[in-house]
């Protein structure tokens, strides 16, 4: 019996030794190397390398809660409104042999009630592709800030003051850099219409689009601030083939001036624009008409207007700042048009106080006064007040 047990144990030990020797001869599979996320400091704070690539990415966003009071004209009008806005944005950058390759996407969704809507008593939810563009060397393609405006100009106002308003538009542009802070841009941008829907429904003025707005600028950026001069050409087509197509234009000068001698972060900004047949560049949107028919000859009469705006940002402490801002604008229609008695002057002025208790969090209040002065005899001047409370977190 003992002999049998000894033989069995010996056989098991031999088999285990053979199996172990064969396993040792098999190729060993190495564990995959762990690739950790690395910080990318080339393009500023918040960027990191996408693992396995040489592309740097920054994820950012914003949440804004805003509450607004606006003086009503009638009992039918809303006087209060609530706004909630969420933003998510992605910024990727890759260095190439041809220059920087950048893609930028910013999505926003806004929920508005009350005075934020044109129709009293309504609630709207508005998804928006605020920006989505590609930059490759000097090329910019997609939806980005118009090149009619100085990109450094930041009014930091909650409400509306009249100027080009830095809208985001669909465009195709090329920027030439000359060195020493100078650059120039030529941009084809989606047409910016003023009062297009109102004109189409009332007198059928506008026909379909045939040409983009052509925008060109010259910009200088330095340690003291920046300055831009720009112009835009805008096509106006009548729905009637016998009426000649007109071309409107707008020109602007905009500048920012840093004022570190007052306090760190202080700055002054200025903007002035003249438009003839391109009133959308004054920041009025559908509140004015860019052109009307001459009642005598049936031809197109372009609307003329101009505006000046300015603002000052001052830091009382590193965490507490104020903005003081205002604008004046004038709109003039043709003397032989249906809008002949609709000329007006408008000025707006406001101020706010913003506290930043921690980085990225703004708590602000603002008050804005607007005065609308029609130039027609016997039409009274109107004025209004509005106030806003804003809570905003950027990350």
Average pLDDT over residues 294-313: 92
Q: Give residue 300's pLDDT.
A: 87
Of 222, 313, 318, nearest to 270 by C-alpha is 313
Of 132, 155, 223, 143, nearest to 187 by C-alpha is 143
**Residue-wise pLDDT tens digits, 22-73:** 444 545 556 555 567 899 999 999 999 999 899 999 999 999 999 999 999 8
**Choice among 151-160, 294-303, 304-313, 339-348 with the minimum mean pLDDT:** 294-303
Banded pLDDT at 379 (limits 50, 70, 90): confident
Q: Which H/E stretch holds residue 201?
A: helix 196-202
Classify residue 16 by burial, with Cβ atoms within 10 Å: 0-12, 13-18, 19+: exposed
Q: Give residue 123's pLDDT.
A: 95
**Residue-wise pLDDT tens digits, 279-293:** 999 988 778 888 888
Of 171, 159, 184, 177, nearest to 283 by C-alpha is 159
Name the 3-class secondary structure at 175.
Answer: strand
In the block, tokens 């045939």 appear at: 210
50 half-sphere exposure, CB direction, 13 A CA radius: 12
Average pLDDT over residues 257-262: 97
Of 256, 383, 391, 240, nearest to 310 by C-alpha is 256
| CA 10, 13, 19, 20 torsion-angle sign | negative
**Residue-wise pLDDT tens digits, 74-88:** 899 999 999 999 999
Residue pair 388/68 in contact (Cβ under 8 Å)? The answer is yes
Mean pLDDT of the chain: 88
**Residue-wise pLDDT tens digits, 126-150:** 999 999 999 999 999 999 999 999 9
Q: Is the pLDDT of residue 11 over 90?
A: no
Q: Is the pLDDT of residue 9 over 50?
A: no
Q: Give residue 31's pLDDT.
A: 55
Report CA dihedral (334, 340, 341, 343) to the nearest 10 degrees: -20
In the block, tokens 């049936």 appear at: 298
Of 205, 144, 141, 150, nearest to 173 by C-alpha is 141
Rounded to 5 degrees, φ, ψ at 9 are -65, -40
Question: 90 Cβ partners below 8 Å, 6+ apart?
Answer: 57, 58, 59, 60, 103, 104, 105
DSSP-assigned letter for residue 210: -
Q: Give residue 15's pLDDT.
A: 39
Q: Is the pLDDT of residue 10 over 70?
A: no
Q: Is the pLDDT of residue 343 over 50?
A: yes
Question: 336 Cβ partners below 8 Å, 6+ apart?
Answer: 294, 295, 296, 301
Of 50, 157, 63, nearest to 395 by C-alpha is 63
Whole-number Cα distances in Å, 171 to 131, 186, 215? 11, 10, 10
Banded pLDDT at 261 (limits 50, 70, 90): very high
Terminal alpha carbon distance of the chain: 80
Q: Give residue 296's pLDDT.
A: 86
Tally Cβ neighbours within 10 Å of residue 130. 13
């Amino acid at each position: 019996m003992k002999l049998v047990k000894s033989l069995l144990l010996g056989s098991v030990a031999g088999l285990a030794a053979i199996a172990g020797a064969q396993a040792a001869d098999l190729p060993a599979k190495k564990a995959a190397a762990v690739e950790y996320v690395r910080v990318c400091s080339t393009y500023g704070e918040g960027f990191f390398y996408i693992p396995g690539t040489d592309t740097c990415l920054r994820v950012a966003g914003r949440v804004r809660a805003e509450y607004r009071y606006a003086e009503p004209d009638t009992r039918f009008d809303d006087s209060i409104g609530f706004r909630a806005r969420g933003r998510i944005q992605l910024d990727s950058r890759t260095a190439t042999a041809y220059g920087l390759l950048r893609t930028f996407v910013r999505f926003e969704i806004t929920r508005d009630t009350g005075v934020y809507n044109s129709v009293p008593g309504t609630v709207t939810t508005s998804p928006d592709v605020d920006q989505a563009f590609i930059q490759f060397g000097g090329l910019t393609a997609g939806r980005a800030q118009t090149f009619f405006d100085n990109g450094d100009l930041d009014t930091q106002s909650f409400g509306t003051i009249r100027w080009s308003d830095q809208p985001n538009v669909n465009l195709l542009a090329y920027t030439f850099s000359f060195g020493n802070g100078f650059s120039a841009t030529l941009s084809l941008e989606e047409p910016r219409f003023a009062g297009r829907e109102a004109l189409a429904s009332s007198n059928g003025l506008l026909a379909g689009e045939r040409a983009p707005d052509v925008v060109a600028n010259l910009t200088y950026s330095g340690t003291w601030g920046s300055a831009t001069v720009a112009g835009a050409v805008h096509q106006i087509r009548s729905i009637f083939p016998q009426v000649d197509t007109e071309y409107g234009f707008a020109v602007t000068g905009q500048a920012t001036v840093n004022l570190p001698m007052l306090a760190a972060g202080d700055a002054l900004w200025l903007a002035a624009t003249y438009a003839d047949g391109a009133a959308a560049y004054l920041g009025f949107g559908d509140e004015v008409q860019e052109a009307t028919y001459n009642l005598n000859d049936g031809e197109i009469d372009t609307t003329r207007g101009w505006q000046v705006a300015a603002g000052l940002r001052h830091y009382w402490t590193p965490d507490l700042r104020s903005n003081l801002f205002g604008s004046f604008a004038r709109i003039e229609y043709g003397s032989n048009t249906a809008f002949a008695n609709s000329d007006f002057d408008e000025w707006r002025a406001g101020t706010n106080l913003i506290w930043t208790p921690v980085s990225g969090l703004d708590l602000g209040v603002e008050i804005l006064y607007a005065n609308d002065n029609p130039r027609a005899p016997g039409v009274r001047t109107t004025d209004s007040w509005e106030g806003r409370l804003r809570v905003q977190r950027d990350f």
